[in-house]
Structure 1
Amino acid sequence: MTASRIALVTGANQGLGRALVEGLAARMQPDDLVLLTGRNPQRVSEAAHEVAQLPGSRARVEGRVLDVTDSGAIGRLADELRMRHGGLDVVISNAVARVLPDESQSARADEFIDVSNTATHAILRSFGPVLRPGGRLLVVASSLGTLGHLDPRLHHLFDGADLDQVEDAVESWRTAVHNKTAQEAGWPRWLNVPSKVAQVAAVRALAAERRERDLADDVLIASVCPGMVDTATSRPWFSDYSHAQSPTDAARAVLDLIFTEPVDPALYGELIRFGKPLPWHDGTPPIEQDRLLTP
C-alpha cells in the first residue's frame, strides 16, 4: 500500500477490532491514518491513545465515536471522508452485539440484528461507493455464514439475492422472532447463524454488482472468518479454548488479506478463512446449539 491511506475499523475498542487497528497502525505508513471507532467516547479515546503509543505503531491513530446502529451517522462519516480525503482505502466492519448463552435470544434479537446486520448493510451502502482504487472492504463474519447452516426452506431468501432482498429477508426474520413464528418457519433460535449467513449474503450481493469494475481497480470486497478467537464475546460459548487464537494472532490473516496485492479474483466476494474461500453452499444446520439456549 502507498502513503496517505485512510483505514477505518468498527467495534475497535477491544478484542479483534483493536488488534486489527494495532496491525494496521504497524503496517501502514507515517502519513496514513487509522480510525478506531466505537460507541463509548471514553473507551474510544483511551484505546486510540494506547494504540498510538505502542512501540510498533507507525501510522496515525485517531478515535472516532460511531454508533453503527445509526445508519445516518455511518453515511455522514462516509461523506466526510470522501470530502476530506477523496474516499478511504480500508474498511473493516467488525462490530457485534454480545449475547450470553443464558440470555433470551429472542429478547436480544433487535439489538443483535441492528449491530450485526442493519449496520453491515449501511456500511456496505455508504463506504462501498467511497472506496478508492486498491481499496479493501471486509466484513468480519464466521464459518457459520455459509448457506448450508440454514434450514433449506430459507435458502431462497439469500441465494443469489441482491442487497435489497437480503435486507428484506433480515427484516422478515426479525418479524418472525417478534411474532414467535421463527422456529416454525425454519429460523434457528441461535441468532448468530442467520445473522452471519445474512452478513455474507449482503457482501456477496454488493460484490456481484461491482465485481468487474473492482477487479480492474484492485479493490477487494469480501467477508472474513477469523477462526476461533479468545475474546469476551466468544469465550462464554465454548468450553474448550485449547485451539483458540489470541486477537493479535487472529488479526494476522485478515491483515495479510488487506495488504496482499493484487487482489486474487477467486477471493472476491467470498467468505475467506485463512486466505481460502469457504464454499457458499456448505454446512449443516447446527441444531445442537438450540438445545442450550434460553427461549
Structure 2
Amino acid sequence: MAEKVAVVTGSNKGLGFAVVKGLCQKFKGIVYLTARDEQRGRDAVEKLEKLGLKPKFHVLDVSKEASIKKFADFLKTQHGGLDVLVNNAAIMKLEKLYPDYEGAKRNIDVNYKSLLKIEQYLFPLLRDNARVVNVSSACGHLSNLKNSKWLERLQDQDLNTEQVNHFVDEYLDSVKNGTFNKEDFADEGKHAEHRVSKIAVNALTMIQQRKYYDRNISINAVHPGHVKTDMAQGGGELEPDEAAKVILYLILDASQNLKGTFMWHDGKLVDWYDTEGDYYYKC
C-alpha cells in the first residue's frame, strides 16, 4: 500500500507552518511543506528538522498555474496520489480598507481563484477517503453580505462554480467602474475584497463536496480564529500552534462523515447560510 501523503500550501510560516509541524508529529505518512519562495521554504524545513521532525519541501506558488501543474506532476510521479490537502495560502493587505481594483483582484486571484486551479490539477490525485481543508475566515460567512441578489444566488442548494465566479466578477467590476456600494456588505464594506474571496472559498467548499461525495472525500472550510501572523500585523489573538488545532482535528480526528461544513475556531459547526447571524468580520 502506498504511503499516505499530506500537503499544506503556504506553509513556510505562521498558521501553515504550525499545521505542518502538527502533521509531522501525528500524521502517519509524508508531509509536504510548500512555499512560493524556495529559500524561505527550505529555511522552514530546517527549523522543523531541528525539532526532530522530517517534512519534505516543494516549491508551490498557488498564483501560478504552471507551478501548480508542476507540483501535481511531481506528486503523481513520486506518490501516485494524495490523502490530505490543506489550502492555506492566502493574502490580505490591511493598509487599505477599500482597495483599488488591482489590489482587490490580487486578493481574489490568490485566495479564491487559485483554488480553482488546485482543484483542476490536485483533486484528480485525491485518493478515496481523502480529507481537504480550505482555510477560510470570519470574512467567509454569508452574514458578511447584505446584497439580496447575491445572497439569493449563493444560498441556492444547486449553486455551481460558474455562479460563484459571476458573484466575484460582479464585485470586481463594481470596484473597477466606481459603482462599489458599501451597503452590499456588513461593517461598511471594509475589506470587501477579502470578504468576497473568503465567501467564494466557502461556497466552493460546498460545491466541491457535492462533486466528490461518492468517493467519501471530506471537504470542509474552517475559520481558524484571528491568528498572530504577518497578515494580522499584531492584531491576532491566537498563536499559530493554537489556531492549527482545529485544522489538525479536521484532518486527524473528525469523523469522515463530516462533509461540506464550516467549522469555527472553537470546533463549533456554524450554519454558513445564517445571514442574520453575528459571524461577520469586524474591522
When normalised by structure 2's length, the TM-score is 0.87
Structure 2 distance, partners of 1:285, 1:137, is 23
Structure 1 distance, partners of 2:243, 2:252, is 15
CA spacing shift, 1:278–1:261, aligned 2, 3 Å: closer
* Alignment match of 1:43 (pick from 28, 34, 40): 40
Task: State the partner residue of 1:268.
Answer: 259
Higher mean C-alpha deviation, range 99-108 or range 5-14: 99-108
1:15-34: CA deviations, max 9, x gaps? 001001111111123xx321
Q: Which amino acid aligns with 1:250?
A: A
Q: Does 1:158 align with 2:154?
A: yes
Q: Contact (CA 8 Å) 1:128, 1:137: kept in 2 or not?
A: no
1:154-183: CA deviations, max 9, x gaps? 213422321222123222322222122222
Task: State the partner residue of 1:293.
Answer: none
Q: Which amino acid aligns with 2:85?
A: V
Q: Contact (CA 8 Å) 2:135, 2:221: kept in 1 or not?
A: yes
Structure 1 distance, partners of 2:143, 2:59, is 36
Task: State the partner residue of 1:214.
Answer: 215
Q: State the shift of 1:102 in Å.
A: 4.3
Q: Contact (CA 8 Å) 1:226, 1:250: kept in 2 or not?
A: yes
Unpaired runs of 5+ residues, structure 2, are none
CA spacing shift, 1:157–1:80, aligned 2, 3 Å: farther
Task: State the partner residue of 2:248.
Answer: 255
Q: Does 1:15 align with 2:14?
A: yes
Q: Contact (CA 8 Å) 2:108, 2:196: kept in 1 or not?
A: no
Higher mean C-alpha deviation, range 277-286 or range 174-183: 277-286
* Alignment match of 2:205 (pick from 192, 203, 206): 203
1:189-239: CA deviations, max 9, x gaps? 41221111111001111112222x133xxx211111111211121235x4x
1:226-284: CA deviations, max 9, x gaps? 11211121235x4xx5xx22100111121121012641x3x301111233321012236
Q: Contact (CA 8 Å) 1:150, 1:285: kept in 2 or not?
A: no
1:13-59: CA deviations, max 9, x gaps? 11001001111111123xx321111111210111112212313x2xx
Q: Which amino acid aligns with 1:203?
A: T
Structure 2 distance, partners of 1:196, 1:276, is 18
Q: Does 1:170 align with 2:178?
A: no
Task: State the partner residue of 1:63.
Answer: 57
Q: Which amino acid aligns with 1:41?
A: E
CA spacing shift, 1:185–1:154, aligned 2, 3 Å: farther
Structure 2 distance, partners of 1:287, 1:230, is 16
Secondary structure at the counterpart of residue 221 of structure 2: strand
Q: Contact (CA 8 Å) 1:121, 1:167: kept in 2 or not?
A: no
Q: Does 1:121 align with 2:119?
A: no
Q: Does 1:279 align with 2:271?
A: yes
* Aligned positions, number: 272
Structure 2 distance, partners of 1:148, 1:89, is 32
Task: State the partner residue of 1:81.
Answer: 75
Task: State the partner residue of 1:139.
Answer: 134
Identity %: 30
Secondary structure at the counterpart of residue 235 of structure 1: coil
**Alignment RMSD, CA only?**
2.4
Q: Contact (CA 8 Å) 2:19, 2:244: kept in 1 or not?
A: yes
Q: Which amino acid aligns with 1:68?
A: V
Q: Which amino acid aligns with 1:24?
A: L
Structure 2 distance, partners of 1:185, 1:251, is 34
Structure 2 distance, partners of 1:205, 1:168, is 15
* Alignment match of 1:194 (pick from 193, 196, 212): 196
CA spacing shift, 1:182–1:71, aligned 2, 3 Å: farther
Structure 2 distance, partners of 1:164, 1:177, is 20
CA spacing shift, 1:194–1:34, aligned 2, 3 Å: same
Task: State the partner residue of 1:292.
Answer: none
Structure 2 distance, partners of 1:88, 1:159, is 31
Structure 1 distance, partners of 2:223, 2:103, is 23
Unpaired runs of 5+ residues, structure 1, are 290-295
